Structure 1
């Protein structure tokens, strides 16, 4: 069974919502003081464990990461689900982005929630909740999202950043400079700044690589310089969408070579450390539930303690996706297989070998993937 990871402390869902409430001088879940500007730095792939283990390469951030400044991310530990949680203040089951690739039941297909947006998967209807940026609009608080130009018009941007003015800035230095310009040109605002570099380096080389360490050092220097120039009343929170683990190629498991692990499976979604298995949607509900139970038991029997396995009914009952909107329920796999050991699951029938070169991976429930930093700077420092 998948372990319950329901945090009683601050959550990723509280971060941006609390920032808006800070600007509005309202009580908030993070107990942030009143601010004129609140900046959220979202560092893709920066797990708390990795930051602490490489503290010598990030002296500024590590020195400001107290034990209480580590929070839970979301399950699955993947970017689309986590950023949507940050920007809507709601759990994946509520906003509907419940994984990396998930079932679009109406069209009997898998859709990639990072880049698979099309006319049948509209951002304004697929993502089910209003964003914090839209709430800011209602309160006459300017909202800005700063990221590279390549993401400015993406489907995910329209789904999770709606209500914010998108500011394109390609290099890390340019993004921090853009944030400073927003602060200087407005009386108050909430600002979201996205940092992709560490996640990209981890996927390509691993988080233990020199490339990843170099990106961490650049980030640390940029944040230190930005924080050092903040004027009074400007608060900053640095957090992440998920952490990451390195999985060597010899730890890749080709699940399709064991017939009982794909018996009755129509689609395999999710990602290598968190598979979402979908059965034939035409099955009668009772038959489908029984088939899901049998498939889950097959995975438990074959893979043993290398995985956590649960059916859709079990994960919903356990609250791992939060409250689940009925419109999002079919997007969750009939069976969820989350890697417990340092392994990743692939289909040998995929002739493109997609993803097999990826070293840094995430998606599952380990502390390394789920625990993320919440560094408080400027007016939010403690």
Structure 2
């Protein structure tokens, strides 16, 4: 089966442009957003445009402020490690190097969890992710930068890779985080303030995006964003990716002895987008054919060279990023998810809401302007 690529319009807005949009707004050098005294970036983890539209009645503030064309496209893979880093650096995964949820450190021949494995694997964030963050760029231009999130993220390796240059402050609830972000923007002229809301993503993974728990999380977020902003402070609300519910009967589990596992040393990524690492590059053609036959209509299988050549990881890919990309990339179609049945950790099989692949539900996210950014 011929692999399919997403039909992303050439002129489509990408989440990689958010950093430049916001910096331009506070420095007065941009054209995408009006100049403001200070700017707030709110990232609602996991909130795709499809989910927002489907549940518009539970998000009246966001839905009313989000016009039909207020859309941005996530990156590939559409997973938090890759996409949030792209949002906060302004470059694609092929440049910043966080090319998936779990990727292979080839020097040590170990998979590294790009969200929570930094400390355990002793990864130096400054070396692994070398691109300047939006916060470093802001402070270099003389603008104060802040990040407001949960206390658990304050000193994580992933935060070190993505929030460098920002002063971190923690608040418990979504409402408290938004309130503090607005307060920092108001009290610090020229400030760039980031506010992270993971509630919808967490509820979606555990219960699904059509669950009562997910709707409750969306309502909490919408209420938090319904507060008034100072007249000269702009707020941009977006997401790193969307989400899709995967039913149990759409689990493709690759068990021990399956021909697809021949020559495979590691399987990284996540169920909606696997990185498959082989013991020898010479196996690539044979393995590609076997994986395409084995996954059938459930997934598209690309080689690393194909993925790089077609720009799936961005227009350029660094040697470091290339070394972390699987020899094969297996992107789930529709509502499928693929699991390594030989992996001792099967916790991901309990997830309902998932992401990482190339469907519109995963790629299309809101680009909502509030406060001084709102269209007039």
- The alignment's TM-score, normalised by the length of structure 2, stands at 0.95
How big is each residue's C-alpha offset from its partner over 1:76-102, in whole Å with a ceiling of 9 and x where there is no partner? 010010111011100000000000000
Q: Contact 1:16–1:40 (CA<8 Å) still a contact in 2?
A: no
Runs of 4+ in 1 over 4 A off after TM superposition: 4-7
**SS at the partner of 2:296?**
helix
Tell me which of 341, 346, 357 is aligned to 1:353: 346
Specify every segment of 5 or more residues in structure 1 that has no aligned partner in the other structure, as ranges.
none
1:89 and 2:90 aligned: yes
Q: Post-superposition shift, 1:376?
A: 0.8
- The alignment's TM-score, normalised by the length of structure 1, stands at 0.94
Further displaced range: 242-251 or 149-158: 242-251
**SS at the partner of 2:226?**
helix
**SS at the partner of 2:99?**
coil
Corresponding position of 1:26? 29
Cα distance in 2 for residues equivalent to 1:249 and 1:353? 14
Q: Contact 1:239–1:374 (CA<8 Å) still a contact in 2?
A: yes
Instruction: Please give the residue correspondences for 1:8-19 in structure 2 after superposition, counting only pairs within 5 Å.
Output: 8-19=11-22
1:122 and 2:112 aligned: no
Cα distance in 2 for residues equivalent to 1:267 and 1:182? 45
Corresponding position of 2:319? 326
Corresponding position of 1:247? 246
**SS at the partner of 1:97?**
coil
How big is each residue's C-alpha offset from its partner over 1:145-173, in whole Å with a ceiling of 9 and x where there is no partner? 10000000000000001011101111112
**SS at the partner of 1:216?**
helix
**SS at the partner of 1:327?**
helix
How big is each residue's C-alpha offset from its partner over 1:95-130, in whole Å with a ceiling of 9 and x where there is no partner? 000000001011111000000003641111101211
Q: Post-superposition shift, 1:5?
A: 5.2
Corresponding position of 1:263? 262
Cα distance in 1 for residues equivalent to 2:295 and 2:49? 28
Corresponding position of 2:54? 53
Corresponding position of 1:75? 76
Q: Post-superposition shift, 1:2?
A: 4.2
Corresponding position of 1:150? 152
Q: Contact 2:175–2:223 (CA<8 Å) still a contact in 1?
A: no
Q: Post-superposition shift, 1:264?
A: 0.5
Q: Post-superposition shift, 1:344?
A: 1.0
1:110 and 2:114 aligned: no
Distance 1:266 1:371, change over 3 A: same
**SS at the partner of 2:230?**
coil
Corresponding position of 2:232? 233
**SS at the partner of 1:341?**
coil
Cα distance in 1 for residues equivalent to 2:20 and 2:171? 24
Further displaced range: 337-346 or 96-105: 337-346
Instruction: Please give the residue correspondences for 1:157-306 in structure 2 after superposition, counting only pairs within 5 Å.
Output: 157-225=159-227, 229-257=228-256, 259-280=258-279, 283=280, 288=281, 290-306=282-298
**RMSD of aligned residue pairs (Cα, Å):** 1.3
Q: Post-superposition shift, 1:345?
A: 1.0
Q: Post-superposition shift, 1:184?
A: 3.0
Q: Contact 1:4–1:320 (CA<8 Å) still a contact in 2?
A: no
Q: Post-superposition shift, 1:232?
A: 1.9
Q: Contact 1:4–1:318 (CA<8 Å) still a contact in 2?
A: no
Q: Contact 1:5–1:320 (CA<8 Å) still a contact in 2?
A: no
1:335 and 2:338 aligned: no
